[in-house]
Amino acid sequence: MKEVIIIKLGEIVLKGLNRKTFEDRLIKNIKHRLHKIGPCKVKNSQSIITVAPVFDDIDIDEVADCISHIFGIAAFSRACVAEKDIENIKITSAEYLKDHFDRITSFKVEAKRSDKKFPFTSPEIAREVGGYLADTFPEVTVDVHDPDAVVTVEIRDDAAYIHSEVLKGAGGIPVGTGGKAAILISGGIDSPVAAYMMAKRGIELTAVHFASPPYTSERAEEKVVGLLERVAKYSGRMTMYTVPFTKLQEEIRDKCHEEYFTIIMRRFMMMLSERIAKQNECQALITGESLGQVASQTIGAIACTDIACDMPVFRPLIGMDKEEIITISRKIDTFDISIQPYEDCCTVFTPKHPRTRPVLKNVLAEEQKIDYEPLFSEALQNLKVTEIN
């Protein structure tokens, strides 16, 4: 019995004349993500996409799990393929749904007839298949108002498809349709969530991480790689650039007033990230900042940080509270890694009383105490590059 995945599009259907561009990108993403599992035939026809494993030994469960993490998919179903003959459809429905019917007490059948040449109307298909299933499984009753399961029979040009359970997709739009941006990634809870949320809006990600050995350990960097691997289940592969940041932080500590440590550190991070972003043809930066969460995330501090670079800065978490962010981090399976006790460079030389309402001219005056351009050049020449798959 041949089983396939039927994919239903969401937001893509609203794209008008640009719809095909989005559909083509989604199909490309699906093929790329399924490549590691095994060859699958991906077909776009009559407003749905079907994914059919080429070989019988390809694990359809693994295919379905992969599909559930791809942005641009609103919903999907595992479906059985049947010949377009009403008797074959009835017999195949009963065979395919046997295990499912063992777990329910009521059902109804809905039919969709895209192929108008099929000799039965949609109500007639529903009645025929529903009657056969009711006779085959007499312990399961027909309930057209509030059934445990809805069996759907779709008659399309190439075949009939039978499915019951509709699974929720990742939503959003296909990665790669929204441009490219660089995410400033730490080992905390927030930045992986920000990366996920911008990938959901079609952004192709490049990651920038700052390390300060010996103040930060290799385990801290491994933690970030682990976080990005979880995000990559949704975003697809990306490149992570690890910036050696120790000398710059030590210069800030030695030459600047303590209350400005954090804001100057953040400005340097933005400057360096922008340069890496431009080298990778990115059009924006992304951070995991949430307004008022810490001293460096007040309106005044954010204003002083933003002016350090020319690129737009996306902050998808800006209006969210911590519980909302944690809920998403649990959903995408990054929370348990984020709370591992390996701290990143943002915790190095943290001032006791950071400036929450910094004045830009004072920040610049402190910043000018450091000859940072040679240190920037040295850091950029010693980037560590890690491919995240």
CA torsion through residues 210, 346, 377, 271, sign: positive
Co-location of 332 and 239 in the same domain: yes
DSSP character string of 66-102: HHTT-TTEEEEEEEEEE-S-HHHHHHHHHHHHHHHHT
What pLDDT is attached to residue 370?
94
Number of residues that this document lists for the chain: 389
Co-location of 221 and 351 in the same domain: yes
- 24-59 core/surface letters (b: 16 or more CB in 10 A; e: else): ebbbebbeebbeeeeebebeeeeebbbbbbeeeeee
Mean pLDDT by 10 residues, the chain (389 residues): 91 87 94 92 86 91 95 95 96 95 95 93 96 96 95 93 93 95 95 98 97 90 95 96 95 90 93 97 96 81 91 96 96 95 74 75 92 96 95
Co-location of 37 and 60 in the same domain: yes
What pLDDT is attached to residue 358?
80
Co-location of 61 and 192 in the same domain: no
Distant-in-sequence, close-in-space partners of 315: CB < 8 Å, separation ≥ 6: 194, 286, 287, 288, 289, 290, 302
What pLDDT is attached to residue 245?
95
Other C-beta atoms within 10 Å of 115: how many?
15
Out of 171, 195, 217, a domain closes at: 171
3-state secondary structure at position 294: coil
What pLDDT is attached to residue 85?
95
Per-residue pLDDT tens digits for 158-182: 899 999 989 999 999 999 999 999 9
Sequence-ordered alpha helix ranges (H) in 205-343? 218-235, 246-255, 261-279, 299-306, 322-331, 335-338
What pLDDT is attached to residue 351?
67
Co-location of 134 and 239 in the same domain: no
Closest CA to 346 of 181, 182, 183, 188: 188
What pLDDT is attached to residue 359?
87
Percent of all residues in the chain with a pLDDT value above 90, rounded to a whole number = 80
Domain enclosing residue 40, as ranges: 3-171
Distance of CA 92 to the CA centre of its chain: 36
Enter the tokens of residue 119.
């000799």
Co-location of 210 and 281 in the same domain: yes
CA torsion through residues 140, 144, 150, 154, sign: positive
Co-location of 252 and 144 in the same domain: no
pTM of the predicted model, to two decimals? 0.90
Out of 114, 139, 171, a domain closes at: 171
Co-location of 248 and 162 in the same domain: no
Co-location of 166 and 186 in the same domain: no
Per-residue pLDDT tens digits for 185-218: 998 999 999 999 999 999 999 999 999 999 888 8
What pLDDT is attached to residue 297?
82
Q: Which CATH number belongs to the domain containing residue 315 in this structure?
A: 3.40.50.620
Out of 171, 205, 236, a domain closes at: 171
Q: Which CATH number belongs to the domain containing residue 144 in this structure?
A: 3.30.2130.30
What pLDDT is attached to residue 13?
84
Enter the tokens of residue 58.
């390809």
Co-location of 12 and 34 in the same domain: yes
What pLDDT is attached to residue 68?
96
Co-location of 112 and 152 in the same domain: yes
What pLDDT is attached to residue 292?
81
Co-location of 142 and 209 in the same domain: no
